[in-house]
Amino acid sequence: MTEHIQTLIAGSWRDASGPRYVTEYPADGSQVATLHAATADDVDQAVRAAEAARLRPDWAGLKPHERGAILTRIAAGIRARAEELAQLQRLDNGKPINETRALVASAAGTFQFFAAACETMEDTITPSRGDYVSMSVHEPLGVVGAITPWNSPIASEAQKLAPALAAGCAVVFKPAEITPRMAIELARIAQQASVPDGILSVVPGKGSVVGDALVRHPLIRRIAFTGGTTVGLGIARLAAERLMPTSLELGGKSPTIVCADADLDHAVAGVLYGIFSSSGESCIAGSRAFVHASVYEAFKERLLAGVRALRVGDPASERTQMGPLVSQAHRESVERYVQLGVDEGGKVLAGGQRPTGAGYDRGSYYLPTVIEGLPNQARMCQEEIFGPVLALLPWTDEADLIAQCNDSVFGLASGIWTNDYKTAWRIGAALQTGTVWINTYKLFSVSTPFGGVKMSGTGREKGRLGILEYTNQKSYYWGMNAAPLPWSR
């Protein structure tokens, strides 16, 4: 039975004012939930309620340790509903259940981390250069607009909501239209954890309507966005008109480098995980594998054996490694890119098609795909596919390798497989990416900042200082001079 869900807007659980729509389970196309899309008027109500709520004593008057206690309760609320939330996210976007369980655990850990961080943040007494005491303090920015993607909703939402609440801000969330459930459930958990009414609202719907209204609203003081580069650029343009700070985690075309001395078993396992986990629907997917010519054939043989062994299937099964893509339309986009790669001269070594059989017919499944024979300048090697498609490229000269890796508008992440620490450091230092993984891939810690360079975005999330992204810095000078200021004499 399809469930009808309401959302939290301006302190009230209700239907949004826009048209009713349906979310579908990518594994079989069945209807999961119905809800109403928000309108620009809903956004305005949510933002104005957030502005009023953030100034009330029951929020503005809280000490850092009291906000930390609320975040701790949110973490506990997530853990208490962990399996339920994991199953709901599986239904939202078709990720395998083991992966959604890990994302839920990550979200709880994020709230726990920022609960501790907000209690231990310190303002600064700065060195005096005269008869005064000077200090620097941080104050909450105000109302934050948070816009999150469909591929890892609960983790992305926690990474924005936790530091914003820790800083003392209010948040209006715009989740991806097709995966609204995690933001709505986080709002429910936050309310049960004593977050005051109005501090958090969720406005689901189309980015062109809801997202645009959120970015343009005059009371929004910051936009935290994770999503596609094209949308991110539009947000940056609008934000620039108001000198509004943003954090933009955008696309990627991440290179992974296999050196001649690499442990091939480790490298193959890492490359497989880097591109095919999450069905490749990940901004940091290692979609370009540069393999040293001396080990290219041996690596390719082991890689293809690993691809053939991957278990593609029902996201509800704990054995599944790759579930469906998020929608039929997205699968068609991935298929167009694979055909483009073939048209550009590439050779499909594995995959390149939909799986067949009764278990796959109604879902948006696509096989893990490996293509070789393309130059790095090919569109398939330059544009983000956001799917399970790996380009395999040989290399011999290190300088040329680095040039090819950096020959991309993106700069989100990269991986290096080598047993020589000097090689790892030298190449890592030369790569233009926000994250470098060495002899591993796709590992994250909430304690370590994350973000990209170039067209992969600006700003950083996570890390103890991530709270400061949601604050204004203010300076104070306390005069200690015994005599009046001399200028007026």
Q: Catalytic residue numbers?
A: 249, 283
Distance CA 275, CA 225 (A): 23
The residues, ordered by sequence, that sit 6+ positions from 274 with a Cβ below 8 Å of its Cβ are 254, 256, 284, 285, 286, 415, 441, 442
Tokens matching residue 171: 């948040």
Considering only CA atoms, which of 357, 284, 349, 360 is closest in space to residue 322?
360
User: Which position has the token pair 């890796």?
Assistant: 405
What CA–CA distances, in Å, run from 97 to 9, 137, 148, 320? 30, 43, 20, 8
Angle of CA points 16, 324, 282, to nearest 5°: 75
Q: Please provide residue 288's backbone torsions phi and psi, each rounded to the nearest 5 degrees.
A: -120, 115
| 462: number of Cβ within 10 Å | 20
CA atoms within 13 A on the CB side of 47: 25
Question: Which is it for strands 457-458 and 246-249: parallel, antiparallel or unpaired?
Answer: antiparallel
| Residue 10 identity | A
Tokens of 369: 């795909």
Amino acid identity at 469 = E
Amino acid at 465: L
Q: Give, as one character, the DSSP assignment of residue 446.
A: T
Interatomic CA distance for residues 156 and 235, integer angstroms: 18
Q: What is the DSSP string of 7-73?
A: EEETTEEE--SS-EEEEE-TTT--EEEEEEPP-HHHHHHHHHHHHHHHHSHHHHT--HHHHHHHHHH
The tokens of 201 are what?
């609202």
Q: How far is it, in rounded angstroms, from Cα 224 to Cα 206?
A: 17
78's CB contacts (< 8 A; 6+ apart) are 85, 104, 107, 108, 111, 186, 189
Instruction: Put residue 287 in one of left, alpha, beta given phi > 0 → left and psi -120 to 50 → alpha.
Output: alpha
